[in-house]
A and B are shown apart, each in its own frame.
Chain A
């Protein structure tokens, strides 16, 4: 069982080690599977479904589905791309994503995913324009829930890396949102130095680090020139293996 196996992604054979998910195997081989709720260093959750691929004919989330010997995966096909486009469009329509006024614009993974998927034309979905509160109580951090896409990355980062449990899901269905572990963020033990508050955790502009906004000028921002996923597609050249928490160390294996 400990031998590496081979899976096929869009006709290309890649290596996968036992227990690896489809996405981790693809990442190690330099094949990018678009994703929003998954990020290197955290336990995969499989909630955004943007990483949906077809594995042996079944649509599965690549970040949670284990690779199996001889598995045939479709990743970059029109059908899968259209699924992903619809998912990303729905995220844009569910929240209040005002790119022109957002500090995260240009380094926002949701926006970058829409660029990568070439979403520019009108959709069939209505804008829900929800009314969601902003929590600016903390001296160093503000939370603008209007931009939240419920990826849960802050939840996992705070719980597994910081060991603090600052964030958690609250409510169900369309009423689901991210809650904090007290009356407001200032009443929690959250700190600007937490990994959960770092720029790489929140994929959108929901977690705002105060007094640091607009640090990169237009044209020099993360996704201005290079599409999202370029780091993965060039990973093979550097032979950097992907970081994942080690299950042997419980949930705190990353830092």
Chain B
């Protein structure tokens, strides 16, 4: 049986879920018997070299680059797995969608972060607008809002155990059956 090809990416996330992948500890060696990594920050491959069986998405979409990357993953992966609360329901970045009493939440958020906050040093008093920066979206979108997601693994981050249980079941085409103490939303 050929090895399953896996691609991973961190969108609007903190890389905590990727750190949690490493929390599988020595089981990652066992996983590597059946799996090879394609595009992933773990091997620093920036583009797909060929079609993958499994795409692992960390984080939701907060800018247009996230959306392009996520669509690229959908087009190049057979199965997409959203990993962690940010990918599933927006997580911490989604808090900017609900800034209180504001008609223009994104502008208010950026002004607070770059201009008006008392501890900010920003002599130009401008919000960064370099053309190289990806365009921010009006709000943070979950992965499900943008593409079809086949499975999700909740957690912030999901433990190494739940990642191992889910990914090893997916790689071996077995049903996913998680015990009570593995599914966590925090």
Q: Say yes or no: A111-B98 contact (C-beta < 8 A), given A99-B85, A121-B152, A127-B90.
A: no
A133 with B183: CB separation less than 8 A:
no
A134 with B178: CB separation less than 8 A:
no
Q: Closest CB-CB distance, B74 to chain A, in whole Å?
A: 14
A225 in contact (CB, < 8 A): yes
A120 with B142: CB separation less than 8 A:
no
A99 with B156: CB separation less than 8 A:
yes
Q: Say yes or no: A111-B185 contact (C-beta < 8 A), given A98-B92, A122-B144.
A: yes
A122 with B98: CB separation less than 8 A:
no
Of the candidates B90, B149, B178, the one whose C-beta lies within 8 Å of that of A122 is B149
- CB-based nearest A residue for B181: A225
Q: How long is the Cα–Cα vector from A102 to B89 in the complex, in angstroms?
A: 14
Q: Say yes or no: A105-B100 contact (C-beta < 8 A), given A127-B142, A227-B180.
A: no
Main secondary structure of the interface of A (DSSP, over half): loop
Q: How long is the Cα–Cα vector from A114 to B95 in the complex, in angstroms?
A: 22
Q: Closest CB-CB distance, B53 to chain A, in whole Å?
A: 19
Contacts of B186 in A (CB 8 A): 99-100, 102, 105-106, 111, 218
Q: Say yes or no: A120-B154 contact (C-beta < 8 A), given A101-B92, A105-B185.
A: yes
Of the candidates B90, B91, B97, B178, the one whose C-beta lies within 8 Å of that of A120 is B178
0 or 1 for each of A103-121: is its CB under 8 Å from B? (1 = yes): 0011000010011101011
A98 with B180: CB separation less than 8 A:
no
A120 with B85: CB separation less than 8 A:
no
- CB-based nearest B residue for A118: B183
B82 in contact (CB, < 8 A): yes
Q: How long is the Cα–Cα vector from A218 to B155 in the complex, in angstroms?
A: 13
Interface residues of B in 142-183 (CB under 8 A from A): 142, 144-145, 149, 151-154, 156, 178, 180-181, 183
Contacts of B99 in A (CB 8 A): 131
0 or 1 for each of B65-101: is its CB under 8 Å from A? (1 = yes): 0000000000000000010010011111011011111
Of the candidates B92, B97, B139, the one whose C-beta lies within 8 Å of that of A100 is B92
Of the candidates A114, A122, A127, A146, the one whose C-beta lies within 8 Å of that of B152 is A122
A129 with B94: CB separation less than 8 A:
yes
Contacts of B180 in A (CB 8 A): 115-116, 227
Q: Closest CB-CB distance, A81 to chain B, in whole Å?
A: 15
Contacts of A92 in B (CB 8 A): 89
Contacts of A132 in B (CB 8 A): 98, 100
Interface residues of A in 122-148 (CB under 8 A from B): 122, 126-127, 129-134, 146
Q: Say yes or no: A98-B91 contact (C-beta < 8 A), given A106-B186, A131-B98.
A: yes
0 or 1 for each of B120-146: is its CB under 8 Å from A? (1 = yes): 000000000000000000010010110
B94 with A98: CB separation less than 8 A:
yes
A100 with B144: CB separation less than 8 A:
no
A96 in contact (CB, < 8 A): yes
Most A C-beta atoms less than 10 A away, residue of B89, B98, B101, B145? B89
Q: 14 additional contacts, CB 8 Å, given A99-B185, A120-B183?
A: A92-B89, A98-B91, A100-B185, A100-B186, A102-B186, A115-B180, A115-B184, A120-B152, A121-B152, A122-B88, A122-B144, A130-B98, A131-B99, A218-B186
Q: Chain B interface (Cβ within 8 Å of chain A)?
A: 82, 85, 88-92, 94-95, 97-102, 139, 142, 144-145, 149, 151-154, 156, 178, 180-181, 183-186
